[in-house]
Amino acid sequence: MMISPGHEEPDQAELNPDVLLPEIRQGFVHWMMAAGVLALAVTAWQLLEIQEEATSSWVKPVVIALLAFSPVGLAVYLGLVKKRLVSTAAVYSAVTVAMLIAGGLVLAAAVVSMQNITPDPTVSITIPVNGLTLWMPYLLVLYALASVMIPMPPPLSFRGPLVLTIVWAIAVASTTSMGWDSLGRVAAVIVGVLFLVPGLVLSTWRWGRFQERLHHGQLQGHVERLGGELVRAREVHEGLFPEPMTGPVSFEYVYVPNEQIGGDFLHAWRCPKTGRTTIVLLDVVGHGLTAALTVNRLSGELDRLRAEFPDIGPGDLMSRLNRYIYLTMAQYSIYTTAGCFEIDPVDGVLRWVLAGHPPAMLRRENGSVEELECTAVLLGAVPDAQFDPDEQRTTVAPGDVIFGYTDGTIESRNPAGEEFTIDRMRDCVGFDTPPRDWPRFILNAVERHHAGNQTDDILVVCITYDHPHIPLDQDSFDPLDSTSLYIGTRGR
């Protein structure tokens, strides 16, 4: 995240439980049904347990009416709020209200029952038997069911039961019919509070599991989105690569990034006025997304240079590219090795610069192999005034092939830790019977060597001089313009 100076970076956004709202809402509905069944069970139990001797004639009907109304109240409340449960906050508020409805009516019945119990004068500390057997187990089960069925933050799940327990404590403290002393009242209140502990523990456990699932789901969604973005980024990145070229000078290549996208790049053009063909290989230090973003910037700079200087040579091109990288990227420790090859089809002159790049190979038509050595330091390492491209030249004949590659090719390691090395590359280039597809032939050799343990991007390009030195008809070319400098580039 980019923030302006002087501002602190905000904390990572909290997990949003709304993504699992259907599950939370379904849990709430199921809990309402379970609470209604539980209230009916308590009602039936009280019909059997409340004795005429212990209650006045009006107490039993009042207690039974309060108990029986609990599931009715829950059903009515559910019907009123079901369509309004559009967020987790709404569901959690509804749970609290439903808890107060279900628990409050049973608590009222327990208080009525307690207030009408005849005290035993022979017992100094009297525990309210009906109150405990009716109310506290009911609250325990009600809260436990809510904790298991509805994933809620423990503080939110505790709101309703806590209010009911406070009311319970007030009722215990204010009762006068039980003949309690202070110790008895304190004991009753403590027992009521302890009955909340199992539900609170279950709520904490359930919420922890829910957050784990929520975090996993969000992480998976983020990974899927990132994967999709990387696929699209790879399409854009590979769209910058040129199509294979045919003509007096032809080339073909193979590119295998180590990750979804990589930091190797190939740029090619043929000047329509001179016929000179230029191939540029780039290998940004590192690989992955950072290297790929750097490649995109360098591709744009190469486009600009070719449009501004149509007949630029390898030495001048590498000098200007070094200056660009040194001024804009070196401060972030981003550097690039590069190779630039230019072939003039008129006289067969090959000019090249290799800046910190592995030596290229020149296979002559008779099968002999020559190395084209590195001529300069990698791009961006030194300022413009200290950079010397040391452009080299030689002459190529029909049938000669130039092989350029990035260091991921020769540094590929086999399971024993041995690198592919320049020597093995030279052996491949000097193979007696030239294959029909040189890049694929070399890639197969590298892949057999590393046995699937690729650790860097691999780029291999083969440039073939196919035609003898025939003077070109300058009048046959179209007028020079910036759009005709690039050939066969995908996405242009």
Residuewise pLDDT in 10s, the chain (492 residues): 444 444 444 444 445 666 678 888 888 888 888 887 887 777 776 666 555 444 445 556 666 666 666 777 777 777 777 777 778 888 888 888 888 887 877 777 777 766 655 555 444 434 444 455 567 788 888 888 888 888 888 988 888 888 888 888 887 777 665 556 677 777 777 877 888 889 889 999 988 888 888 788 777 877 778 777 777 877 787 788 888 888 889 999 999 988 778 889 999 999 888 889 999 999 998 777 788 889 989 999 999 998 898 889 999 999 999 999 999 999 999 999 999 999 999 889 999 999 999 999 999 999 999 999 999 999 999 999 999 999 999 999 999 999 999 999 999 999 999 999 999 999 999 998 889 899 999 999 999 999 888 888 999 999 999 865 444 444 444 443 333 333 333 333
- Reading the block at residue 289, the tokens are 């997304």
Cα–Cα distance for residue pair 205/212, rounded to 1 Å: 11
- Reading the block at residue 127, the tokens are 């525990």
Q: Tell which residue, 265, 271, 264, 263, has the closest CA to residue 245.
A: 271
Instruction: Quickly count: other Cβ atoms within 10 Å of residue 272's Cβ.
Output: 16
Is 445 in a helix, a strand, or coil? Answer: helix
No. of H helices and E strands in the chain? 14, 10
Cα–Cα distance for residue pair 21/87, rounded to 1 Å: 7
Q: Tell which residue, 284, 288, 245, has the closest CA to residue 265.
A: 284
Within its chain, how far is the Cα of 47 from the centroid? 59
Q: How far is CA 179 from CA 50, 53, 185, 306, in A?
A: 20, 18, 10, 102
Domain annotation for the chain: domains and CATH numbers: 17-219 (no CATH), 240-484 (3.60.40.10)
- Reading the block at residue 122, the tokens are 């022979």
By the 8 A CB rule, do 199 and 144 touch?
yes
Burial class from Cβ neighbours inside 10 Å (0-12, 13-18, 19+) for residue 296 reads: middle
Cα–Cα distance for residue pair 396/344, rounded to 1 Å: 10
Cα–Cα distance for residue pair 43/53, rounded to 1 Å: 19
By the 8 A CB rule, do 46 and 60 touch?
no
Question: Residue 337: beta bridge partners?
Answer: 283
Cα–Cα distance for residue pair 375/353, rounded to 1 Å: 6
Cα–Cα distance for residue pair 394/350, rounded to 1 Å: 5
